Amino acid sequence: METGHYSAQLVKMEPYASWLSEARAVDRMSRYNLRRRRIPRLIRERIDVALLSDRELLRLTRLNRAAFDELYARLETYLRPLTSRSHAVSGQTKLFACLQFLANGSFQRLGGFACGVSQSTMSRIISQFLIGMRRISRELIHFPRSPAEWDAVKVAFYHLAQMPNVIGAIDCTHVALVPPSADEYMYRNRKLGHSLNVQVVCGPDMEIFSVVAKFPGSCHDAHILRESALFNFFHAFYREGGWLLGDAGYPCLPWLLTPLGHPSNNAEEAYNRAHVRTRSVIERCFGHLKTRFRCIDNSGGALLYKPQKVIDIIVACCVVHNICIKQNLPGYRLPHTPLSVQSDDFEDEEPDEEEEPDEAGNVVRGRVIVEFFE
């Protein structure tokens, strides 16, 4: 009796089972089609650089139209679109996005959103830009290349404070970064932060002649100089045609004059005053560089990249800085911040204890004091 009752129930449920099977089949097909359905791309509205006024372009990228076009002409090979699709990012949009990233020091996602590209696209664009800037850096960062240019540099320096035969001012500045965990101690500087210590030589108009950005923050300024190609060049080819000016953290060399620690007469005091006033151009250079490009200033935060990419970013900032100097563009300053103030830099370093006194440098410095300041 129970078996018959159970069979009757199965017969009654057959229509429902058939409907349920069909519903499940439809559901499986719907999910399959949904997975196969192509989600349309969301193309953000991108900025048209050609529509920006010269003033807007200068505010957003630190370059006016002429300087922007000059830099793009040099980088076009590296920034031109890699595809012929209708929505490819144009080379000028790429350059605009990268310059805005340098100027604002913001995250890639925010910079890309402002320019109408995704964070992943922005990352690829920055890599292309940095490769191009590294390739053209030697064209825009270099010492004078003719006797006439050297003479012009000496005259311009002399007009600052009557310091004779100066061919450049040298100093180091720190750029904060998040260090690699394996070598964290190497990047820890005297203020217990993490940074790269960047050596720069500049001219009388704050144009950058040389930049060395590969040394970690724990390195002393004098050590960086001695390990750089600049030291080898001047040490091998110096012929008393002029000298660099450095602070007390450097050794006094025949081609690098430093201030006297304890001046004992009026001539030595006059030399120190002229030295300080002339060498201050490198401090102004750092002021312009870091307020113009917040990505390398503490106000923009530490750079969240590997050290090699941070080096490339620093060099790119120096290249654009030189273009700004060449085009005589105004310096950019943060609100309520004097251009000469560098809160993230250190006071003049103490002389490196490992450096031995150079008597030849002291002789040259003494002769300069006697001939020009007595």
Residue after which a domain boundary falls, among 113, 139, 165: 139
Question: Is the domain of 133 the same as that of 173?
Answer: no
Question: Is the domain of 292 the same as that of 250?
Answer: yes
Cβ within 8 Å of residue 146, ≥6 positions away: none
Question: Is the domain of 126 the same as that of 175?
Answer: no
Question: Is the domain of 165 the same as that of 237?
Answer: yes
77 pLDDT exceeds 50? yes
Question: What domain count does the chain have?
Answer: 2
| Confidence at residue 42, expressed as pLDDT on a 0 to 100 scale | 54
| Confidence at residue 106, expressed as pLDDT on a 0 to 100 scale | 66
Question: Is the domain of 268 the same as that of 362?
Answer: yes
Q: How far apart are CA 373 and CA 272, in angstroms?
A: 10
Exposure of 95 by Cβ count < 10 A (0-12 exposed, 13-18 middle, 19+ buried)?
buried
Question: Is the domain of 237 the same as that of 151?
Answer: yes
Is residue 201 situated within a structural domain?
A: yes
Is residue 4 situated within a structural domain?
A: no
Is residue 110 situated within a structural domain?
A: yes
Question: Is the domain of 67 the same as that of 191?
Answer: no
Is residue 1 situated within a structural domain?
A: no
Question: Is the domain of 368 the same as that of 288?
Answer: yes
Question: Is the domain of 211 the same as that of 270?
Answer: yes
Q: How far apart are CA 136 and CA 128, in angstroms?
A: 13
Higher pLDDT: 72 or 5? It is 72
Q: Residue 368: phi, psi to the nearest 5?
A: -60, -40
Q: How far apart are CA 111 and CA 47, in angstroms?
A: 12
Closest by CA to 321, choosing from 275, 284, 354, is: 284
pLDDT band at 339 (very low <50, low <70, confident <90, very high): very low
Is residue 28 situated within a structural domain?
A: no
Terminal CA-CA length for the chain:
131
Is residue 186 situated within a structural domain?
A: yes
Residue after which a domain boundary falls, among 139, 160, 194: 139
| Confidence at residue 120, expressed as pLDDT on a 0 to 100 scale | 81
Angle in degrees, CA 112, 113, 114, rounded to 5? 90
Q: Residue 84: phi, psi to the nearest 5?
A: -95, 15
Convert the pLDDT of each residue in 230-273 to its tens digit: 998 887 776 667 899 999 999 999 999 999 989 989 999 999 99
Is residue 27 situated within a structural domain?
A: no
Question: Is the domain of 185 the same as that of 267?
Answer: yes
Residue after which a domain boundary falls, among 139, 168, 199: 139
Question: Is the domain of 227 the same as that of 129?
Answer: no
Question: Is the domain of 210 the same as that of 102?
Answer: no
Q: Residue 227: phi, psi to the nearest 5?
A: -90, 0
- What domain range includes position 105? 49-139
